[in-house]
Structure 1
Amino acid sequence: MRPRAPLAAFLAAAALAAAGCAASPGPAEESTAAGTGFRAPDSPIVNLRIVFRTGSIDDPPGLHGLNALTALMIGAGGTETLAYDELAETLYPWSASISAQSDKEVTTVTGRVHRDHLEPFYAIFRDLILAPRFDPADFERNRDRLRNAVVSTLRGNDDEELGKEALNALLYRGHPYEAPTLGTELGLEAITLDDVREFHAQRYTRGNFLAGAGGGYPEGFLARVDTDLRDNLPEGGGEPAELPAPRVLEGVELLVVEKQAIATAISIGFPIGLTRADDDFYPLLVANSYFGEHRTFNGLLMNVMRGQRGLNYGDYSYIENFIQAGGSRMPVPNIPRRQQFFSIWIRPVPHHNAHFALRQAMRELQRLVEQGLSQEDFEATRDFLLNYSQLYVQTTDRRLGYLMDARFYDSGFLVDEIRARLPELTVDDVNAAIRRHLRFDDLGVAVVTSNAEEFVERLLAGEPSPPTYNTAVGEDILAEDAEIIEYPIPFNMERVQIVPVREMFRDVSAG
């Protein structure tokens, strides 16, 4: 049995959330041709989500970042009658907000307002989508914002996100997912305001959206939003761009980004052939929760790497695209993808322990694939997840987002699916799904570190990599370390690359 931290706090919080939902009036879900709603008549807040089937995969060649910039011209721009600063002044006394979130395949315009101000707020929200101001000053400000996010933040001072984006670029080289959602340095420089106008006219169309409303909105409001958009957006279909299969990884492919860093960030992963629409998603969800639940000590990696050894702040795994919502432990909704990937995130480790940390994570992945879960760990993880998953939808806005994601995947509501499917699973179901979808040999490793050449030499030489601890550890840990320090990683010597950080995300690869 693997070490486990007490789960009482998580289970209690989830139980309270579930109890709160049960005590309040049940959700009044509704649907229209292009809308999904979740009415909570007693709520004073109304949340709006308009999901457009447009993402960074729709950026034209040489203009990577166009989708993200167009979204910002809506979420951080003005209307034909209100300049951006006037709009912000109007929303402020209402404690209202409007923003835009873009990803690979969808872009979501979100709004939040007290129901007393819904009518004037909706008029602004609607105008931002239908007729953005496209002010040249807003364009320059938003383009600079994206460029700085790539050049200064991603390359400069966010090594964790840099490692994740480097892994994405490695896994999806030559694929529409390759470029960062934010765009590339050269792509953003090339975009003009006319490009934004044209992209908005082509992608923000009546056949390309799903409207969502949640909270205390009046009866008939969702149908009104749906009709407003369908009647006033330009004609256009919603057929998504075709996606080729990701390239085949051969052995362990290594991408090392060299930059001055105080610690080494590591991301590991590979594409997987399933989404929430697939039956195997749910047993694999249990396996992933056991292995690396995000920011909890329910995960094996968190226990053995941080808890037992103090290597870093955290170590997690994922079976789909995961972007943390603010300072929470939960993912943001409305970032669905037709093609997903498995990943391990090793948060920055002191340079002298980086090789050991990589070896330990890879070894634990192999053990997961080959040994699976024990009956005891399966039951404990399943019970944890049945409760913890209730926190996915602890707010009206999050529930709305998950309802809309179900429309994307043409699947059931995720939390309902978990509640219905997990009690029927067996440990054999989970271990069989692990063997079908996870692997430890053909995968990508992205590393952000200083002295990259020296680091790569040590990795490829395969020499022992004993760790250095700040506190004493037990004899059992030291005995296991003796195996880990010599764990062989089957690197593909022909697919090892060192890239200076200044060259990352200037453009996409040639394929």
Structure 2
Amino acid sequence: MSRRQTTRVLARAISACALAGFLGATPAAPAGAARPKENQPMKSTPRPVVGETLRTSLLPVLSSPLVAFRIQFRSGSINDPPGKEGLNGLTAMTIGQGGTKELTYREVTDRLYPMAATIGAQADREVTTFIGNVHRDHLKPYYDLLSGILLRPRFDESDFKRSRDDLIAEIETNLRGNDDESLGKAALNLMMYDRHPYKQLDTGSVQGLRSITLDDVRAHYRKYYTRGNVVLAVSGGYPDALIESMKKDFASLPAGAPPLLKLPKPRPLQGTEVLFIEKAAPATAISIGCPIDVTRSDRDFYALMVANSYLGEHRTFNGRLMNKLRGERGLNYGDYSYIENFIQDGGSTFPLPNTPRRQQFFSIWIRPVAHSNALFALRQAVRELRLLVDAGLSPQDFEASRKFVLNYSRLWTQNLSRRLGYQMDSQFYGSGFLIDRIQEELPRLKVEEVNAAVKRHLQAANLAVAIVTQNAAGMRDALLSGKPTPITYQTPTTEDALLKEDKEIESFPLPVNRERMRIVKAQDLFEK
């Protein structure tokens, strides 16, 4: 998935203007208040109570001509009321693609356009983040627009209807119609979090969106867009006066914060639970996963990072899944694994910041494979997971994977906005800055610790499997029969070792839970 579906980045910018306001002389810091060291993470202020200062997350880089904003509210799809699934995402989009009390949406975009600046809304399960970037020459007029959108949203009926129609089309046309891989991932999430607040899409459901009114959006804004529920995050070459102005302006939000929603434990999976999503599809997309009780705040997370890189590092040939399924057998374009919710950031190969969760899951993504080879690919992926759990990493594989993660993770924060996003996520988890934590934890890890963490948190016996395919009944029957599901090569191989392993894979046992196996039509998913 390239980016959160509810993210709408409006690329715009502003003509040259006189330096004023924020870009005057930088005032001296108040007595006893030290400006954070340049280009170093700064911890956020504590969660406030009424009367306390707003929380901030600052990353000053005085040499940078750019300023990045991430204004985050502790409101996500978990806060959608029953029957109005999508309210959080629709509220974010109506604001992010709307006007201010003084300006229409068109007037806002006309003023942003000459700036080459951006404003976007990113709604997720637990947080909603408004993201902006601007050259500091245009900081004052840009901030006036950004703060106006967030503090004085227009809530125009036409903006609301356009945003609602866009989200409905995202589900009906894009997700269910054109994006089988994302549909499989969304269905996997539905299985793992049955009767859980994480269950629904961030975009909601079709009927839920249609039931939402503009008054619902206004009410959601009043409840969740409050002083105690916001983090003001800024990075780049900004003056101190900007932060003081932001604190003063955002103090106009209502005081306090709604109680944080308590999350139940996910339902335990029983055997291999399979959901077939039937639709006209040129190939079969498969997603496999299970909830795990570990996040970035836990030391075991960093051990699992090494093991996961060995198994299925995203969009690289480092992982066994990629080498075994694609490299040796040419089954598909790619096969990867993850130890937390993963969304690719645009055209990069890096994780999208600001999608944190208090509960996480392990998953395997099998990109579309020929229908005839789908069950073979499923067996092989689960078998590779079983081998990892049972045998662990060798000392050589451990050293290679650890070295890769230590170096590769440094690339995740190549620009100020991403670095700021990771800093905010680290504060969400209370874990210290992620990249620094990786550099701290991995060098002292031992292979025995990694393998022990794998055994504690990963397993291949109880998994949810979402399969998007066009002949669901036939594939279901083949799986239930227990018969071998051999691979069909387009060009026959003569490698004896590969053919021998194929025989083991095609008969690899899957403990299928017959009672929980289902077939649904794609058009029925996320309808209600």
TM-score (norm 2): 0.90
- Contact 2:100/2:154 (CA < 8 Å) preserved in 1? yes
- Contact 1:274/1:340 (CA < 8 Å) preserved in 2? yes
- Contact 2:279/2:521 (CA < 8 Å) preserved in 1? yes
Residue in 2 aligned with 1:235? 255
Instruction: Report the Cα offset of residue 32 of structure 1.
Output: 5.3
- Contact 1:35/1:211 (CA < 8 Å) preserved in 2? yes
Q: Distance in 1 between matches of 2:240 and 2:234?
A: 11
Residue in 2 aligned with 1:191? 212
Q: Distance in 2 between matches of 1:128 and 1:382?
A: 44
Residue in 2 aligned with 1:176? 197
Q: Distance in 2 between matches of 1:203 and 1:69?
A: 14
Residue in 1 aligned with 2:305? 285
Q: How does 1:460-475 map to 2 (within 5 A)?
A: 460-473=480-493, 474-475=495-496
Q: Distance in 2 between matches of 1:291 and 1:69?
A: 37
Counterpart AA for 1:368: L
2:441 is the counterpart of 1:421: yes
- Contact 1:77/1:84 (CA < 8 Å) preserved in 2? yes
Q: How does 1:130-141 map to 2 (within 5 A)?
A: 130-141=151-162
Q: How does 1:36-115 map to 2 (within 5 A)?
A: 36-115=57-136
Gaps of 5+ in 1: 1-24
Q: Distance in 2 between matches of 1:46 and 1:223?
A: 15
Residue in 1 aligned with 2:321? 301
- Contact 2:38/2:62 (CA < 8 Å) preserved in 1? no
Q: 1:388 aligns with which of 408, 415, 438?
A: 408
Q: How does 1:113-262 map to 2 (within 5 A)?
A: 113-229=134-250, 231-237=251-257, 239-262=259-282
2:461 is the counterpart of 1:441: yes
Residue in 2 aligned with 1:500? 521
Deviation track 1:52-78 (CA, whole Å, cap 9, x = no partner) reads 100000001100000000000121111
Instruction: Report the Cα offset of residue 478 of structure 1.
Output: 1.1
- Contact 1:53/1:238 (CA < 8 Å) preserved in 2? no
2:291 is the counterpart of 1:271: yes
Q: Distance in 1 between matches of 2:485 and 2:40?
A: 57
SS in 1 for 2:517: strand
- Contact 1:212/1:222 (CA < 8 Å) preserved in 2? no
Q: Distance in 2 between matches of 1:277 and 1:439?
A: 21
Q: Distance in 2 between matches of 1:442 and 1:221?
A: 52
Counterpart AA for 1:345: W
Counterpart AA for 2:523: R
Instruction: Report the Cα offset of residue 470 of structure 1.
Output: 2.3
Over the residues paired in the alignment, what is the CA RMSD in angstroms? 1.1
- Contact 1:202/1:236 (CA < 8 Å) preserved in 2? no
Q: How does 1:326-475 map to 2 (within 5 A)?
A: 326-473=346-493, 474-475=495-496
Gaps of 5+ in 2: 1-36, 46-54
SS in 1 for 2:356: coil
SS in 1 for 2:240: coil
Q: Distance in 1 between matches of 2:198 and 2:418?
A: 25
TM-score (norm 1): 0.93
Deviation track 1:377-427 (CA, whole Å, cap 9, x = no partner) reads 000000111100001111111110000111111111000000011000000
Q: Distance in 1 between matches of 2:217 and 2:38?
A: 42
Q: How does 1:483-498 map to 2 (within 5 A)?
A: 483-498=504-519
- Contact 1:323/1:332 (CA < 8 Å) preserved in 2? yes
Instruction: Report the Cα offset of residue 222 of structure 1.
Output: 2.8
Mark the CA change 1:238 to 1:380 in structure 2 (over 3 Å): closer, same or farther.
farther
- Contact 1:32/1:223 (CA < 8 Å) preserved in 2? no
Mark the CA change 1:174 to 1:296 in structure 2 (over 3 Å): closer, same or farther.
same
Which stretch shows the higher mean deviation, 334-343 or 80-89? 80-89
Instruction: Report the Cα offset of residue 238 of structure 1.
Output: 5.2
Residue in 2 aligned with 1:7? none
Instruction: Report the Cα offset of residue 274 of structure 1.
Output: 0.8
Instruction: Report the Cα offset of residue 475 of structure 1.
Output: 2.0
Deviation track 1:173-230 (CA, whole Å, cap 9, x = no partner) reads 111011111100110010000000000000111100111101111124234323421x
Instruction: Report the Cα offset of residue 472 of structure 1.
Output: 4.1
Deviation track 1:289-331 (CA, whole Å, cap 9, x = no partner) reads 1101000011110111111111000000001010100111001
Q: Distance in 1 between matches of 2:300 and 2:249?
A: 39
Instruction: Report the Cα offset of residue 337 of structure 1.
Output: 0.3
Q: Distance in 1 between matches of 2:277 and 2:404?
A: 37
Q: Distance in 2 between matches of 1:82 and 1:274?
A: 45
- Identity fraction in percent: 55
Mark the CA change 1:28 to 1:431 in structure 2 (over 3 Å): closer, same or farther.
closer
Q: Distance in 2 between matches of 1:293 and 1:58?
A: 32
Instruction: Report the Cα offset of residue 456 of structure 1.
Output: 0.3
Q: Distance in 2 between matches of 1:336 and 1:293?
A: 19
Q: Distance in 2 between matches of 1:469 and 1:214?
A: 52
Q: Distance in 2 between matches of 1:197 and 1:381?
A: 49
- Contact 1:32/1:226 (CA < 8 Å) preserved in 2? no
**Count of residue correspondences:** 482
